[in-house]
Chains A and B, each alone.
Chain A
């Protein structure tokens, strides 16, 4: 066991972990942040995407000890203190960007990473960026629409809900 410390959603967090403890296990099991989902556990689906030092990573494919000293952001830190949704979350709600919601934490975190680098992405840029985020329900159209709306762009011409 070794001690790992990091900042998660702005708060200091630390625990004793094994070498093999994945970042996702640390977040879910030590910190109770179960919004970070494990869909595949094989780096394919992106349900586990969180930000480590501002970059989107698949937390099922990173060791907790590799995040030592890092700033980690998860879906739990996206809404304001009073529970009001951030722009991306609100757009997913408004534009029906989710059905079962399993992929949504990863989608929202990937969308946040995209909009940080590219504040006005085209539809194609959004689709390309989401290559590593799988959704079994929505058919993606409304996810793309939600992200376009969150970036302040007109979505009236996109596929119907």
Chain B
């Protein structure tokens, strides 16, 4: 890894200022960024650590929403998001314990890996991504593989989840990487069901609208038994073909509906 300057501010305002320079980049838990820098696929001239910013910590319930600080680790979400059990359960199965102790929700959503878990949870929960500058609805936030609505230097300071009436996340694990080969997050809200799929599409996380419509009419695994997804546009690689992934989306969605509580 090439050398860089290191700064560890204690407020969001100072972090935004430190990121203003050209090749500066935010450092969350480093669980994606450090390996990327070792491969020299990224070579920022300055890293601005977000781990010393207390205003980006904490998990808070306010009415129907649960707000998680942008620098909260996966392990802390697993332990503290007890008001939203499906989310806590999802966070508790990311990677392995050491990865969960460092990796953060903000880093995962900023990275938007096409196989990451948080994007599915955020999209299914109609979450709002809160940054130093604005609030972005999940429906507008994810813009394709590794692409998001974030501007350069913009920091995710928190994420507001709408706690659903019932929800479940089903992850078909790719055992070597521990990422999702396919993951489906189903959330039943007062105003409708949302089904978000990760790991499957070349466009990254997406909502499966046909399944949502069928589940709005009848929230049962049988309601989607006849639905199929078009394999074109799915990811096909050595771990699974496009057809296999399209099929798995249906299976995982049914399991998530059956398990939702």
Q: 1/0 per position for B161-189, CB-CB distance to A under 8 A? A: 00000000000000000100000000000
- A94 CB within 8 Å of chain B: no
In the bound assembly, the distance between CA atoms of A22 and B8 in angstroms comes to 16
Whether A66 contacts B98 by the Cβ 8 Å rule is no
- Shortest Cβ distance from B116 into chain A, in angstroms? 15
- B18 CB within 8 Å of chain A: no
Complex: chain B residue closest to A53, CB-CB: B101
Q: How many of chain A's residues have a CB under 8 angstroms from any CB in B?
A: 27
* Chain A residues in 8 Å Cβ range of B98: 46, 49, 56-58, 110, 132
- Shortest Cβ distance from A82 into chain B, in angstroms? 30
| Chain B interface bracket (under 10, 10 to 19, 20 to 34, 35 or more) | 20 to 34
Tally of contacts, chain A with chain B, CB under 8 A: 73
In the bound assembly, the distance between CA atoms of A41 and B5 in angstroms comes to 21
In the bound assembly, the distance between CA atoms of A42 and B176 in angstroms comes to 13
Whether B3 contacts A20 by the Cβ 8 Å rule is yes
Query: Among A18, A66, A113, A133, which residue has the most Cβ atoms of chain B within 10 A?
Result: A66
* Chain B residues in 8 Å Cβ range of A65: 6, 8, 49
Report if A43-B99 is in contact (Cβ < 8 Å); known contacts: A63-B30, A66-B51.
yes
Main secondary structure of the interface of A (DSSP, over half): mixed
Residues on B facing A (Cβ under 8 Å): 1-6, 8, 27, 30-31, 34-35, 37-38, 47, 49, 51, 75, 95-99, 101-102, 178
Q: Can you list 14 A-B pairs with a CB-CB distance of less than 8 A?
A: A20-B1, A20-B3, A42-B38, A43-B99, A56-B101, A61-B30, A62-B30, A63-B27, A66-B51, A114-B97, A129-B97, A132-B96, A132-B98, A132-B178
